Amino acid sequence: MSTAELDALAALADPPGVLPLLERARVSRNLAFLAAALRGGNDSAPRRSARAGFDLLAAVQRRAPEVVREMLRHHRFGAWVAVCAVGAGGDPVAEESLAHLTSFAAAAAVRAGLEFELELPRVGDAVVLPGLGCWTGPATAPPRVRHDGRGTPLLDGYRWTPIRRLTAALPGGGVDIEFDDLPPTPSAWPETDIPDGSSGWTPWDAAEFDEWQRVFGAAMALLAEVVPGLAGPLARGIRAVLPRASASYPFVTSTLADSFGAAAMVRPADAVRVATGLLHEFQHSKLGVLMEIEPLIAVEGPADLPSPWRREPRPASALLHGSYAHLAVARFLRLAAGRTGSTPVPDAEPVRRQTLAGCDILLGSGRLTPAGRRFVTFMRQTAATDSGGRPAARTV
């Protein structure tokens, strides 16, 4: 990535070629993780399943390589392969999780119209095809799926539930992403333990989904109107919303570094809050991959840096992530004021000043690489001049 591209990202002016670069980088990392996860090991049942899944994925690659590329950058694949790679060589959870490669391979084969026969792992009472849907049925032995290359395979005694999708019509083209309420596959997402067979999975009800569709469509339209320069990359890069229950999920919105383009959210009440959450989390997704391409933190250090938006101190990377997300949110809130009818818009100025404070703490920490210092300096200059007519704070 060039210096000019880094500067543009820090100034919230994403160049057109950056998002494809980030996506290619994430696919490369996922492939490296897959190699690490499958290397060596014993002849356990999960490894035998994984090898069968890999063989099927290779067959899909020969027929429809674009389908495999799409699966390799799927948010569930990134989360799954990270669990397997990090725990490779000794973690029993990672070892058991290897069998889920067959689910990703089967989903790719269905998309490519490829015939196959494969045993798939269960998630509680469900069998998941990531990005497509899941079967639910009696919790017995793992089902053996046969596919003739046409449509979706049918399993006797199982009910198929297709994944639903959130859509939005925008001036530059439509948005069509997964509403991923399917049972959890192995990942590091909070509160996504794999259920046992005693608990049945049910999708979110139709009324709740309709409400999600309403606020999502309104949020994307608002972003496109108010901050088109930020909405464009978001519309092209967001892949999925993972709905969460407010009673049990510890965050209003969250992102997993391994799941590029996915945002877990407790449904906000209005489009302004949905837009804010999507924008905030997509900034995290971009920065997470960017920092793998170009290191911005020289010394992560202990979690001892003061945070302008949290009570507890944070490590350098967390402070950088928060500042980058706040930078975009502050711009959106400032420009959205007075353009949302009766829907209230929070004041942008406290968010902007938190961004400035976060940048100042980072610049004074001694923990940034030269590229990181330049990146944060451009962030600070952007926040300082994004003041909507207020006197600009000093720049570094």
SS3 at position 230: helix
Tokens of 303: 């979690």
Residues 284 and 298 in one domain: no
The confidence score (pLDDT) of residue 312 equals 93
> What's the alpha-carbon Rg for the chain, to the nearest Å?
22
Classify residue 347: in a domain, yes or no: yes
pLDDT one-digit tens code per residue, 29-87: 999 999 999 997 788 999 999 999 999 999 999 999 999 999 999 999 999 999 999 98
State the residue range of the domain holding 345. Answer: 294-396
DSSP 34-75: HHHHHSS----HHHHHHHHHHHHHHHHHHH-HHHHHHHHT-H
Residues 33 and 125 in one domain: yes
Classify residue 334: in a domain, yes or no: yes
Cβ-based neighbours of 71, under 8 Å, separated by 6 or more: 57, 77, 104, 107, 108, 111, 130, 131
Classify residue 1: in a domain, yes or no: no
Residues 310 and 204 in one domain: no
Last residue of a domain, one of 293, 309, 343: 293
Q: Is the dihedral of CA 220, 327, 14, 387 positive or negative?
A: positive
Cα angle: 27, vertex 33, 39; to 5 degrees: 135
Residues 284 and 300 in one domain: no
The confidence score (pLDDT) of residue 245 equals 84
The confidence score (pLDDT) of residue 172 equals 79
Classify residue 328: in a domain, yes or no: yes
* Residue of 116, 50, 102 whose CA lies nearest to 71: 102
Helix axis angle, 370-385 to 3-10, nearest 10°? 40
Q: Please, what are the averages of pLDDT over each run of 10 residues along the chain (396 residues)?
A: 96 95 97 93 89 97 97 97 90 92 97 95 91 87 87 86 96 92 88 58 94 96 96 96 76 89 92 96 97 96 93 95 97 93 92 97 97 98 81 49
The residue with tokens 């259920």 is: 195
Q: Alpha helices of 238-369 — where are they, by DSSP H?
A: 271-293, 316-336, 348-363
The confidence score (pLDDT) of residue 390 equals 56
Residue 19 CB neighbours (<10 A): 18
The confidence score (pLDDT) of residue 395 equals 46
Residues 276 and 306 in one domain: no
Last residue of a domain, one of 276, 293, 310: 293
Residues 336 and 279 in one domain: no
Last residue of a domain, one of 273, 293, 313: 293
Measured CA to CA, the distance from residue 28 to residue 72 in angstroms comes to 9
Residues 289 and 336 in one domain: no
Number of domains in the chain: 2
Q: How many secondary structure helices (H) and strands (E) does the chain include?
A: 13, 10
Residues 187 and 281 in one domain: yes
Contact 261, 75 (CB under 8 A): yes
Report residue 167: phi and psi, to 5°.
-130, 155
Read off the pTM.
Answer: 0.92
